[in-house]
Amino acid sequence: MNWDETGSETDEPTGPVLDDRLVDADADGEDTAVEAALRPKDLDEFVGQEKVREQLDLVLKAARARGATADHVLLSGAPGLGKTTLSMIIAAEMNAPIRITSGPAIQHAGDLAAILSSLQEGEVLFLDEIHRMSRPAEEMLYMAMEDFRVDVIVGKGPGATAIPLELPPFTLVGATTRAGLLPPPLRDRFGFTGHMEFYAPAELERVIHRSARLLDVGIDADGAAEIAGRSRGTPRIANRLLRRVRDYAQVKAEGMIDREIAAAALKVYEVDARGLDRLDRAVLGALLKLFGGGPVGLSTLAVAVGEERETVEEVAEPFLVREGLLARTPRGRVATPAAWAHLGLVPPTHGAKGQQGLFGA
């Protein structure tokens, strides 16, 4: 019972220390400033995501050949994998203007009506964080997507009338980090859904070489591989680590990045060979050293590292789980053998607690 102590509600915001986390996949201020310069401009320049790229290429080519507006596109995937980038590429490939807005920015159906009614024919409407749109706006969007029409409601109460408004054909590109939160009627109205995957190290190496060229930094193959391995499968993180390594190289090594420089720089920034940062290692370290690998409850683990439960659960754990270093079991958090190996520790031999936790004592 109460194994992960989900009953206790602590809604404390996470501390400011986490805002400048180097391995956070969300964009920070500096990212936003430089990302525009690093964004690939067309499908050929867009690295990886072979399946999405190939399918999208067909959708866009076919639309172009028909002289028609492309079908609505939904892009889903974790932060920093290239959803915004791809939406801009869609507009560029269709030779169409793009209007950018986001779910949270659309509070009322009227906000959406204003945007929709001002679209040009063939324009791409990029709706970021589409899962966070308000309900009434969402319902208006259904009709707009399907029939290129909206009903503008004038007046209130029994006297209210709906005035139909024809819209020019447009392409909606929706992006979401939480595809599961989209209501099925909305999901069904997209002609094409692209699921963005985490990138393979070799793909991230290509991203890094490309960005290094644009930033005018020298880097060799080993240097790029070293950064790629620590980038958590995410181009945004790869670009951010590259910028920090560049700083280090400028100050300490005449600007050229090789494996040694990359590793030394990322040691300074406490990003380890697998992309774990100080917080990740603290969580893993406590689990192994204080609790013999678990199982241990989330609250206990959080207290042990001096962080909020939410921080441990939402900031540190997802990547540890993804990497197969930590498992969430009904009896608590458990370290995997890979976790012991990664921190260079030897698991207790007799009655390994982790095993008991996983399979029941």
Ligand X SMILES: Nc1ncnc2c1ncn2[C@@H]1O[C@H](COP(=O)(O)OP(=O)(O)OP(=O)(O)O)[C@@H](O)[C@H]1O
User: Is 281 one of the annotated binding-site residues?
Assistant: no
Please report how the helices 221-228 and 201-215 are oriented relative to each other, as an axis angle in degrees rounded to 10.
Answer: 120
Nearest to 313 by CA among 299, 296, 294: 299
Q: Is 128 a catalytic residue?
A: yes
The amino acid at residue 35 is: E
Catalytic residue among 230, 232, 234, 236: 236
User: Is 126 one of the annotated binding-site residues?
Assistant: no
Binding mask 203-222 for Mg ion (x = CB under 5 A): --------------------
Q: Is 236 a catalytic residue?
A: yes
Residues that bind ligand X (CB under 6 A): 26-27, 35, 38-40, 46-49, 79-85, 177, 207, 235-236, 239
The smaller minimum CB distance to ligand X, of residues 52 and 334, is found at 52
Closest distance to ligand X from the beta carbon of 84 (Å): 3
The smaller minimum CB distance to Mg ion, of residues 84 and 299, is found at 84
Closest distance to Mg ion from the beta carbon of 39 (Å): 10
Q: Is 187 a catalytic residue?
A: no
Catalytic residue among 69, 171, 176, 177: 177
Q: Is 83 a catalytic residue?
A: yes
Among all residues, whose Cβ is closest to ligand X? 82
Q: Return the one option of Mg ion, ligand X, none that residue 38 interacts with (CB less than 5 to 8 A, by type).
A: ligand X
Q: Return the one option of ligand X, Mg ion, none that residue 311 interacts with (CB less than 5 to 8 A, by type).
A: none
User: Is 38 one of the annotated binding-site residues?
Assistant: yes
User: Is 236 one of the annotated binding-site residues?
Assistant: yes
Binding mask 61-100 for Mg ion (x = CB under 5 A): ----------------------xx----------------
Q: Is 6 a catalytic residue?
A: no
Q: Return the one option of ligand X, Mg ion, none that residue 85 interacts with (CB less than 5 to 8 A, by type).
A: ligand X
Neighbours of 167 (CB within 10 A): 18
Annotated binding-site members: 38-39, 80, 83-85, 146-148, 189, 199, 236, 309, 328, 333
Catalytically active residues are 83-84, 128, 177, 236
Footprint of Mg ion on this chain (CB under 5 A)? Answer: 83-84
Per the annotation, binding residues for DNA are: 309, 328, 333
